[in-house]
């Protein structure tokens, strides 16, 4: 077997130039349609639009009062009011036409009514208090230049100015072709070895955001002829085609060969990470893009190449994502050979933005979902140091980031409960929690990388958390907020077929561990030491997972026989649970942060009856002290 594992590695800016050149003639081809103005919201005008009727289209009263011929008002003054004959005027409301013989309006407040008529105390000049024809819109006036995106008031103006239909650019259409012999529809039953087709939903949504009409093809097997057939069909019917996966240079990667056979490959391989195995090509004048299969790669390649392409074809202005400068909470190593896109969690702590990298794998959808943006590390840079400023392209608004309470530390399901309470409250605040373990959480707080820490550190004297706070924050005034007491125990397969009962049993089975610094790991090591058990004797002691749920999932899926964790995780994954002991899962923040409205909301949440009820239904929690605050000077 032979693999052709090498792609080229073109700079992204160079690739964009080449691609832009290739689509130039296509962009110049006008593709318009005439549609009713009343349904043209958000569409882009393809011809300058001129008013076909003035607004107002007749002289009209600018206020309520009486219409009069101005020459009949001559001579009126305060000392000698002029009585107007009832035949000489008519009552008018604002907007009423002022036509011959009238040419002025006397406002209601200036009219003295009597049985004989109306008296006035000053003369009026022609057109006084009259809106002239075309005061707002003049017939023949340019209303909108070409390329204008129509907003609600614009549609109003078109209707008033008698432009009932207009020429706009046609919405661009994009075909999405998912390929892969192992790919199955999300609606099918899937088995081990199958991969669920989910990228097409990402593309469809991103296409909508670029105002394009998308159609997703049925999944095509890894077969040159079948892919060629789909692509041939798609280029006939669409303005843009994307083929998802098979864009690399492996044995089953046919996309590049299909594009070569039908048209021209411009670029195969980009110096970006993730996203390297991308293909840019043209078949006739239809751009065809081979998008990599990993969701994060797919997201980056789509946003860098397909979104701007769709917007340009639609004659829309390009979207310019908001960028901020943020301090990195980690040293980040980056490839010299590639521009890197690193998903980051952004916090706004003490008036500055801090960015913590999330999982870097190209397959991690949730790293995009949980992120506030991509940190961009240019090619030829070795990385970013701890506390160095880096540029972050945001996918959430700055105001949302500022309104989010960033909590970093140990994982517990109650963080989800509190997050839901935040969202249901009428306040504009959000809770975002990052799970790195108790000790790393306290460290993050001490480095001002988070606003709140979650911790359950068992200390040598048998207490929880208090000594750690004293040590790490010796000169600061801190608040310890009691969270929950929770039961730690062994998560085992349903029915406990291996009859696991105590810590001693761990030496005779496949264990799965938590990462160093996690409170649960500290607890395990404490118990192993107490019972004098050598960790080297435990198979899987080195296999680290970062959440209780991941441990329970490993047991439920028979990847391991046992893990240490909390009851709620075992329950959710349908595992059995052997309780071993209670521990304190608490929160820590700087004492002066207790007054922050986000923190106030947090305290209200964990002190609420609703919180206690949900904990009860999850099982394994004691909430009797939840929300009690202790200050440490």
Please, which residues have CB within 8 angstroms of residue 28's CB and are 6 or more apart in sequence? none
Residues 531-560 within binding reach of a second copy (CB under 8 A): 540, 542-543, 545, 547, 549-550, 552-554, 556-557, 559
Kindly provide the b/e burial profile for residues 167-183, where b requires at least 16 CB atoms within 10 angstroms of the residue's own CB: bbbbbbbbbbbbbbeeb
> Which residue among 35, 160, 262, 580 contacts a second copy (CB under 8 A)?
160
The pair of structure tokens assigned to 372 is 């506030």
Rule CB under 8 A: say whether 385 interacts with a second copy: no
Whole-number minimum distance, CB 213 to a second copy, in Å?
A: 14
Residues 216-255 within binding reach of a second copy (CB under 8 A): 250, 252
Please, which residues have CB within 8 angstroms of residue 501's CB and are 6 or more apart in sequence? 578
Which of 155-163, 372-380, 603-611, 621-629 is the region at the interface with a second copy (rule: CB under 8 A)? 155-163
Residue 509's Cα: distance from chain center in Å? Answer: 43
Measured between alpha carbons, how far is residue 459 from residues 455, 471, 504, 519, 522 in Å?
12, 12, 22, 10, 9
Residues 435-464 within binding reach of a second copy (CB under 8 A): none
CB nearer to a second copy: pick between 572 and 594: 572
Residues 319-348 within binding reach of a second copy (CB under 8 A): 320
HSE toward the beta carbon, residue 236, CA cutoff 13 A:
6
The pair of structure tokens assigned to 164 is 């009932």
What are 283's strand-pairing partners? 286
Which of 204-212, 381-389, 467-475, 485-493 is the region at the interface with a second copy (rule: CB under 8 A)? 204-212
Instruction: Annotate each residue in 120-139 with x if it binds a second copy (CB under 8 A) or - if it does not, as one string.
Output: -----xxx---xxxxxxxxx
Inter-residue contact 300 to 15 (CB < 8 Å)? no
Instruction: Annotate each residue in 257-296 with x if it binds a second copy (CB under 8 A) or - if it does not, as one string.
Output: ------------------------------------x-x-
Please, which residues have CB within 8 angstroms of residue 369's CB and are 6 or more apart in sequence? none
Measured between alpha carbons, how far is residue 246 from residues 289, 298, 513, 536 in Å?
11, 12, 36, 43
Residues 12-41 within binding reach of a second copy (CB under 8 A): 38, 41
Residues 57-96 within binding reach of a second copy (CB under 8 A): 57-59, 62, 64, 91, 93, 95-96
> Which residue among 52, 148, 508, 607 contacts a second copy (CB under 8 A)?
148
Residues 302-321 within binding reach of a second copy (CB under 8 A): 317-318, 320
Which of 47-55, 70-78, 257-265, 447-455 is the region at the interface with a second copy (rule: CB under 8 A)? 47-55
> Which residue among 82, 108, 578, 582 contacts a second copy (CB under 8 A)?
108
> Which residue among 25, 87, 114, 153 contacts a second copy (CB under 8 A)?
153
Instruction: Annotate each residue in 164-203 with x if it binds a second copy (CB under 8 A) or - if it does not, as one string.
Output: x-----------------x---xx--x-xx-xxxxx-xxx
Question: Cα(453)–Cα(352) distance, rounded to whole angstroms?
Answer: 18
> Which residue among 212, 220, 311, 364 contacts a second copy (CB under 8 A)?
364
Which of 364-372, 439-447, 451-459, 492-500 is the region at the interface with a second copy (rule: CB under 8 A)? 364-372
**DSSP code per residue over 3-16:** -------B-HHHHH
- The DSSP H or E segment spanning 203 is helix 199-209
Whole-number minimum distance, CB 182 to a second copy, in Å?
A: 7
Residues 554-613 within binding reach of a second copy (CB under 8 A): 554, 556-557, 559, 569, 572-573
Question: Cα(372)–Cα(221) distance, rounded to whole angstroms?
Answer: 35
Using N-to-C axis directions, what is the helix angle for 414-424 and 597-607, rounded to 10°? 120
Bridging pattern class, strands 478-492 and 629-632: antiparallel
């Amino acid at each position: 077997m032979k693999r052709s594992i090498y792609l080229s590695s073109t700079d992204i800016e160079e690739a964009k130039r080449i691609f832009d050149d290739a689509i130039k003639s296509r962009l110049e081809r006008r593709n318009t349609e005439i549609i009713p103005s009343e349904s043209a919201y958000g569409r882009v005008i393809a011809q300058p639009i001129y008013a076909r009727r003035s607004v107002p289209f007749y002289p009209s009263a600018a206020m309520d009062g009486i219409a009069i011929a101005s020459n009949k008002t001559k001579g009126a003054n305060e000392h000698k009011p002029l009585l107007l004959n009832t035949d000489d005027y008519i009552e008018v409301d604002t907007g009423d036409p002022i036509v011959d013989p009238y040419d002025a309006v006397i406002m209601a407040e200036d009219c003295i009514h009597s049985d004989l008529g109306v008296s006035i105390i000053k003369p009026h000049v022609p057109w006084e208090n009259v809106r002239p024809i075309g005061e707002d819109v003049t017939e023949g006036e340019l209303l909108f230049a070409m390329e204008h995106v129509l907003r609600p008031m614009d549609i109003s103006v078109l209707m008033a100015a008698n432009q009932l239909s207009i020429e706009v650019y046609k919405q661009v259409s994009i075909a999405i072709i998912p390929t892969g012999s192992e790919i199955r529809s999300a609606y099918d039953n899937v088995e081990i070895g199958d991969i669920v087709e989910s990228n097409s939903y990402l593309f469809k949504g991103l296409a909508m955001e670029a105002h394009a009409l998308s159609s997703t093809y049925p999944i095509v097997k890894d077969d040159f002829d079948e892919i060629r057939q789909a692509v041939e069909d798609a280029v006939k019917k669409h303005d843009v085609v994307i083929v998802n996966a098979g864009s690399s240079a492996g044995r089953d990667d046919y996309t590049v060969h299909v594009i070569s056979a039908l048209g021209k490959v411009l670029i195969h391989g980009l110096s970006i990470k993730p996203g390297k195995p991308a293909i840019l090509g043209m078949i006739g004048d239809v751009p065809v893009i081979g998008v990599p299969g990993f969701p994060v790669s797919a997201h980056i390649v789509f946003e860098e190449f397909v979104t701007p392409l769709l917007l340009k074809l639609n004659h829309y202005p390009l979207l310019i994502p908001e960028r901020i400068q943020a301090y990195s909470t980690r040293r980040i190593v980056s490839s010299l050979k590639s521009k890197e896109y690193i998903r980051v969690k952004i916090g706004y702590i003490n008036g500055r933005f801090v960015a913590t990298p999330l999982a870097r794998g190209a397959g991690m959808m949730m790293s995009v979902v949980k992120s506030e943006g991509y940190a961009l590390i240019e090619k030829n840079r070795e990385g970013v140091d701890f506390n160095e400023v880096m540029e972050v392209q945001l996918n959430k608004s700055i105001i949302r980031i500022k309104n989010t309470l960033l909590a970093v530390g140990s994982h517990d399901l109650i963080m989800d409960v509190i997050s839901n309470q935040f969202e249901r409250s009428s306040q504009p605040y959000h809770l975002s929690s990052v799970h790195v373990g108790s000790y790393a959480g306290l460290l993050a707080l001490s480095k001002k990388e988070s606003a709140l820490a979650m911790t359950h550190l068992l200390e040598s004297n048998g207490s929880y958390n208090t000594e750690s706070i004293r040590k790490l924050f010796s000169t600061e005034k801190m608040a310890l907020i009691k969270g929950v007491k929770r039961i730690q125990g062994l998560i085992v397969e349903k029915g406990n077929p291996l009859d696991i009962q105590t810590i001693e049993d761990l030496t005779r089975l496949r264990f799965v561990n938590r990462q160093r610094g996690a409170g649960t790991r500290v607890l395990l090591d404490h118990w192993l030491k107490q019972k004098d058990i050598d960790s080297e004797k435990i198979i899987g002691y080195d296999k680290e997972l970062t959440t209780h749920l991941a441990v329970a999932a490993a047991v439920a899926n028979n990847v391991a026989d046992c893990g240490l964790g909390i009851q709620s995780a075992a329950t959710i994954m349908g595992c059995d649970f052997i309780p071993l002991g209670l521990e304190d899962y608490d929160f820590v923040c700087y004492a002066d942060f207790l007054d922050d409205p986000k923190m106030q909301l947090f305290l209200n949440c964990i002190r609420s009856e609703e919180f206690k009820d949900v904990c009860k239904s999850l099982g394994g929690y004691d909430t009797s002290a939840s929300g009690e605050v202790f200050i440490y000077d």
